[in-house]
Amino acid sequence: MSNKPNANGLGAPLARLSRRRFLAATAGVSAVVGAGTTFPLAARADAGLVALVHTQAAGDSGPIDSMMGRLNQLSEAQGFETRAIYAQDPATYETVLRTLGDAGASIVLGTFPVISEAFKAVAPIYPDTRWIQLFGDAVDPPIGNLVTVSYDYYLGCYLSGIFAAHVSQSKQIGFIGGISIPPINADFNALQAGVHAVDPEASVTAAFAGSFQDPAKGYEIASQMFLDGIDYIQTDSAATDGGIIQAANEREGAMVSALDPAQYPLGPASVIGVVSLDFGQSLHNETSAALGADWQGGRHVPTGLGSGVIDFLRSPLYQEQGPAAIVARSDEAWPAVEAARAGILDGSVSVPFNTEL
Amino acid sequence: MTEFHEFMVAILRSGTPLVYVTMAGVIAQRAGVWHLGLEGVMIVGACATILGIVLTGSFAAAIVIACVLCVAASVLLWFVIEKLGANPIIAGLGLTGLGIGGTALAVQALFGSLAAVTAPFGVPRLGAAFGPYGALSIFVLMMPFVVWGMWVLLCRTRFGLRLAAAGEHPLAARSVGTDPARVRLIALAAGGVLCAIGGAELAAGGLTIFAQNMTAGRGFMSFAAVIFGAGHPIAAAFAAMFFSLVGVAGIRLQLLFGASIPHDVLLSLPYLATILGVWISGRMRGGAKAATEASELRDY
């Protein structure tokens, strides 16, 4: 029973620790430490913790940043604790949600359709927690403590198409999406429908960067589109947009319709407008409702034009600093955009939701 | 003719960051390190350049900061591998995670937000004297000289022989008085400088933006170029430019045939080309085999 070092220079007790045991012990310690540091929630549950589980990275100058900002504002105004948790790996969604449920979080918000299944699986297990999925389809059958919110963003893209067909001189319109997924495809099809409603001969070209966080790829795609004669690009690609706007900044008369008013300063003379989806406002609306005593779960909330969340907006900076001729054309085009918006709201204009390319 | 020039500009613009980072991978591979931390060091270079420009108002100061930080990250990798005995592949992947997470943390700490950071200017451009290529940065012009210099260094100098010995047969290197660990430190540090330039070119060459995770796998593609080029600097540089060509062609194909061919297929072309390239390299030049043989870090 010698305890002298073995060939590896390790003492016998350490040598007896097999790799499997070591890995198991490490995983256990990691889980405990991770749960303790990431979600030190138990102490806060009484005060009412509101957690935002976002499946796309922050720093997009768009939806996630907007939601986190509004959640923090609401937290300061109403005095509840918040946590923003970036769930990057789909395999961890359910674990993250269960951990929040176990900790007694009062409200859990989740983003985008990818987290739907995890919400459906976890919400019934924690009936005292109010679950809100932002950008999700209706759940059938409804779950009593779950609200899903959908966004008819494609309607804003339709208005952008109407606008583009009027302001484009080349009558060549571009669309750059992050990834070709059904909602993004629907946005492209709605843009195309808007363009063709004004000018059936105009061309509309789609391209995808393959990522929502690759401005360099966005720059290359936009550069090639502008070289091909496209003079108006609708973006739908989060942080990739930065490269698209920079490419537009280098070309006289190039126009970009982006995603968020925060992008106006990135291209004062190129970002002509935005198809705005104010996720922050939506989060504010739903969280405020869920903080109330009369909150009703088991609902689906469709959000479209006229809600203050989705709209097509012109950039005031572009109106001041953009080329005068284009600004004049945009002024002439605006009544057509307003007419289309009114038509959608009163039901006289129907925009198909087509997710196929 | 204009279209040809524009196509070449696009290839050079998107390929130059890959070439610099590939050179970092080549020198590390020659020293016996499979450098899977290229992605992490590259994003540190990209982030440090943009933040450096924003905070100091000087490109020169920004690139110095980027080089210092990337060398520090590379030295950390060396320390973990050599002194703590970590597996180089796992350590490299860890460095990638550290780079991506660390840059996000830095942006959050400095600006109180994770939003993309835009600098007022970037890498100096070549200018009108270069005609249609004037929009490219000075790093593009430097790139062929750096590749040539790397070839001279690795294939025509005593240091290059020592480096190869340290990677392929550390005991032999030690027997002639060369310390393999020290040689690897020099190789990784030099690679840090190259990654800094690659990251700077990515974020500030054509663009002036840093966004989280904006390297988007380019470090791993550079690593694939090292394998494709069998660790030879010139062959690896061509491999990197080939990946760039396929990427740019993929965009062009999307614009031309996007209506008839699924975009996902066209977008996957660079990755398919990577796999094909590595396979061809393995078949024709023993690339993967050569790399495997040079992967043993421990002294015999």
pLDDT in tens, B136-148: 999 999 999 999 9
A38 at the B interface (CB within 8 A)? no
Q: Which of A223, A227, A246 is opposite residue B208, by nearest beta carbon?
A: A246
pLDDT value of residue A307: 81
Given a cut of 50, is residue A312 above it in pLDDT? yes
For residues A105 and A67, state if they share a domain: yes
A221 at the B interface (CB within 8 A)? yes
Given a cut of 80, is residue A21 above it in pLDDT? no
B10 at the A interface (CB within 8 A)? yes
A264 lies in some domain: yes
Instruction: Enumerate the residues of chain B whose CB falls inside 8 A of the CB of residue A263.
Output: none
The two three-digit tokens of residue B210, written as one number = 């840093």
pLDDT value of residue B269: 79
- Separation of alpha carbons A280 and A278, rounded Å: 5
For residues A60 and A200, state if they share a domain: no
The pLDDT confidence band at residue A201, using thresholds 50, 70 and 90, is very high
For residues A139 and A173, state if they share a domain: no
A129 lies in some domain: yes
Rounded to an integer, the average pLDDT of B38-55 is: 97
Q: Which of A307, A329, A305, A302 is nearest to A318 (CA)?
A: A329
Residue numbers of B between 97 and 126 with CB closer than 8 Å to A? 104, 107, 113-116, 118
pLDDT value of residue A46: 45
Alpha helices in A255-323 (DSSP H): 279-291, 316-321
Kindly determine whether residue B251 and residue A224, on different chains, have CB atoms separated by under 8 Å. Answer: yes
For residues A196 and A324, state if they share a domain: yes
For residues A201 and A273, state if they share a domain: yes
Q: How do beta strands A172-177 and A232-236 pair? A: parallel
- Separation of alpha carbons B54 and A180, rounded Å: 34
Calculate how close chain A gets to B3, using CA atoms only, in Å.
8
Q: Which of A357, A309, A356 is nearest to A152 (CA)?
A: A309
pLDDT in tens, A30-54: 554 444 444 444 434 344 899 999 9
Q: Which residue of A has its CA nearest to B104?
A: A59
Instruction: Enumerate the residues of chain B whose CB falls inside 8 A of the CB of residue A228.
Output: 255
- Separation of alpha carbons A247 and A245, rounded Å: 5
Structural domain boundaries enclosing B48: 8-298
CB under 8 Å, gap of 24 or more: what pairs does B287-295 form? B287/B227, B287/B228, B287/B229, B287/B230, B287/B231, B288/B227, B290/B230, B290/B231, B291/B29, B291/B34, B291/B226, B291/B227, B291/B230, B291/B231, B293/B168, B294/B29, B294/B30, B294/B32, B294/B167, B294/B168, B294/B231, B295/B32, B295/B34, B295/B88
Given a cut of 50, is residue A76 above it in pLDDT? yes
A249 at the B interface (CB within 8 A)? no
User: Is residue B127 a contact partner of residue B119, using CB atoms and an 8 Å limit?
Assistant: no
Kindly determine whether residue A213 and residue B213, on different chains, have CB atoms separated by under 8 Å. Answer: yes
One-letter amino acid of B121: F
DSSP string, B182-209: HHHHHHHHHHHHHHHHHHHHHHHTS--E
Given a cut of 60, is residue B223 above it in pLDDT? yes
pLDDT value of residue A27: 57
Q: Which of B3, B116, B248 is opposite residue A239, by nearest beta carbon?
A: B116
Instruction: Enumerate the residues of chain B whose CB falls inside 8 A of the CB of residue A208.
Output: 254, 263, 267
The two three-digit tokens of residue A139, written as one number = 């759940």
B202 at the A interface (CB within 8 A)? yes
Rounded to an integer, the average pLDDT of A196-204 is: 97
Percent of chain A with pLDDT over 90: 68
The two three-digit tokens of residue B168, written as one number = 């392929």
Residue B233: give its domain's CATH number.
1.10.3470
Q: Which of B241, B264, B242, B239 is nearest to B253 (CA)?
A: B264
Given a cut of 90, is residue A95 above it in pLDDT? yes
B231 lies in some domain: yes
The pLDDT confidence band at residue B182, using thresholds 50, 70 and 90, is very high
Structural domain boundaries enclosing A105: 14-151
A152 at the B interface (CB within 8 A)? no
For residues A264 and A116, state if they share a domain: no
B96 at the A interface (CB within 8 A)? no
pLDDT in tens, A110-165: 998 889 999 999 999 999 999 999 998 899 999 999 999 999 999 999 999 999 99
Q: Which residue of B has its CA nearest to A249?
A: B207
Most confident of A23-27, A57-61, B229-233: B229-233
A356 lies in some domain: no
pLDDT value of residue A45: 38
B3 lies in some domain: no
Rounded to an integer, the average pLDDT of B32-39 is: 94
Kindly determine whether residue B212 and residue A266, on different chains, have CB atoms separated by under 8 Å. Answer: no
The pLDDT confidence band at residue A29, using thresholds 50, 70 and 90, is low
Q: How do beta strands A310-314 and A271-277 pair? A: antiparallel
pLDDT in tens, B158-170: 999 999 999 988 8
Residue numbers of A between 113 and 132 with CB closer than 8 Å to B? none
The two three-digit tokens of residue B135, written as one number = 């929009």
The pLDDT confidence band at residue B271, using thresholds 50, 70 and 90, is confident
Rounded to an integer, the average pLDDT of A1-25 is: 49
B2 lies in some domain: no
B135 at the A interface (CB within 8 A)? yes
Mutate to test the interface with A, among B12, B96, B201, B214 (most CBs of A within 10 A): B214
Alpha helices in B205-262 (DSSP H): 218-228, 233-257
Last residue of a domain, one of A123, A151, A179: A151
Percent of chain B with pLDDT over 90: 71
Task: Name the burial class of residue A140, with classes exposed (0-12), middle (13-18) and buried (19+) by CB atoms within 10 angstroms of its CB.
Answer: exposed
pLDDT value of residue B225: 93
Q: Which of A57, A61, A262 is opposite residue B213, by nearest beta carbon?
A: A57
pLDDT value of residue B111: 82
Q: Which of B220, B255, B278, B184 is nearest to B42 (CA)?
A: B220
- Separation of alpha carbons A351 and A156, rounded Å: 10
Q: Which of A208, A250, A266 is opposite residue B267, by nearest beta carbon?
A: A208
Q: How many domains does chain A have?
A: 2
Mutate to test the interface with A, among B39, B103, B117, B254 (most CBs of A within 10 A): B254
Residue A3 CA, chain-centre distance (Å), reads 59
Work out the mean pLDDT of chain A and round it to a whole number: 87
Calculate how close chain B gets to A178, using CA atoms only, in Å.
11
Calculate how close chain B gets to A214, using CA atoms only, in Å.
5
pLDDT in tens, A162-189: 999 999 999 999 999 999 988 899 999 9
For residues A242 and A190, state if they share a domain: yes
pLDDT value of residue B258: 82
Question: What is the greatest pairwise CA distance in chain B?
Answer: 63
Q: Which of B104, B214, B255 is opposite residue A205, by nearest beta carbon?
A: B255
Q: Which of A213, A215, A334 is nearest to A272 (CA)?
A: A334
- Separation of alpha carbons A257 and A263, rounded Å: 10
Rounded to an integer, the average pLDDT of B120-146 is: 95
A288 lies in some domain: no
Rounded to an integer, the average pLDDT of B97-106 is: 94
- The helix/strand count (H/E) of chain A reads as 13, 12
User: Is residue A76 a contact partner of residue A18, using CB atoms and an 8 Å limit?
Assistant: no
A211 at the B interface (CB within 8 A)? yes
The two three-digit tokens of residue A10, written as one number = 């390790």
Residue A81: give its domain's CATH number.
3.40.50.2300
- Separation of alpha carbons A187 and B15, rounded Å: 31
pLDDT value of residue A1: 37
pLDDT value of residue A54: 92
Residue numbers of A between 287 and 316 with CB closer than 8 Å to B? none
- Separation of alpha carbons A1 and A255, rounded Å: 80
pLDDT value of residue B299: 42
For residues A136 and A146, state if they share a domain: yes
Calculate how close chain B gets to A202, using CA atoms only, in Å.
15
Q: Which residue of A has its CA nearest to B100?
A: A57
User: Is residue B115 a contact partner of residue B51, using CB atoms and an 8 Å limit?
Assistant: no
For chain A, report the end-to-end CA distance as a whole number of angstroms. 72
pLDDT value of residue B267: 80
Q: Which of B237, B22, B235, B5 is nearest to B136 (CA)?
A: B5
For residues A326 and A177, state if they share a domain: yes
User: Is residue A162 a contact partner of residue A198, using CB atoms and an 8 Å limit?
Assistant: yes
Calculate how close chain B gets to A62, using CA atoms only, in Å.
9
- Give the dihedral sign, CA A85/A90/A95/A100: positive
pLDDT value of residue A262: 83
For residues A129 and A29, state if they share a domain: yes
Higher-pLDDT residue of A193 and B1 is A193
Calculate how close chain A gets to B214, using CA atoms only, in Å.
5
B239 at the A interface (CB within 8 A)? no
Last residue of a domain, one of A151, A167, A194: A151
Q: How is the beta sheet containing A310-314 ordered, strand by strand? A: A203-208, A172-177, A232-236, A255-258, A271-277, A310-314
- Give the dihedral sign, CA A220/A226/A228/A233: positive
pLDDT value of residue A14: 45
For residues A138 and A263, state if they share a domain: no
User: Is residue A274 a contact partner of residue A266, using CB atoms and an 8 Å limit?
Assistant: no
Q: How many domains does chain B have?
A: 1
- Separation of alpha carbons A343 and A335, rounded Å: 12
Q: What are phi and psi of A271, to 5 degrees?
A: -80, 100
A280 at the B interface (CB within 8 A)? no
User: Is residue A242 a contact partner of residue A61, using CB atoms and an 8 Å limit?
Assistant: yes
Calculate how close chain A gets to B90, using CA atoms only, in Å.
15
A146 lies in some domain: yes
Last residue of a domain, one of A99, A118, A151: A151
Calculate how close chain B gets to A231, using CA atoms only, in Å.
14
Mutate to test the interface with B, among A181, A188, A204, A219 (most CBs of B within 10 A): A219
The two three-digit tokens of residue A227, written as one number = 């070289």
- Give the dihedral sign, CA A319/A321/A327/A328: positive
For residues A317 and A169, state if they share a domain: yes
B211 at the A interface (CB within 8 A)? yes
- Separation of alpha carbons B111 and B131, rounded Å: 38
User: Is residue A351 a contact partner of residue A312, using CB atoms and an 8 Å limit?
Assistant: no
A185 lies in some domain: yes
Higher-pLDDT residue of B44 and A32 is B44
Given a cut of 60, is residue A250 above it in pLDDT? yes
Task: Please indicate, yes or no, whether the overall pTM of this predicted structure exceeds 0.80.
Answer: yes
Given a cut of 90, is residue A18 above it in pLDDT? no
pLDDT in tens, B280-291: 777 776 555 555
pLDDT in tens, A262-310: 889 999 999 999 999 888 989 999 999 999 888 999 999 989 898 888 9
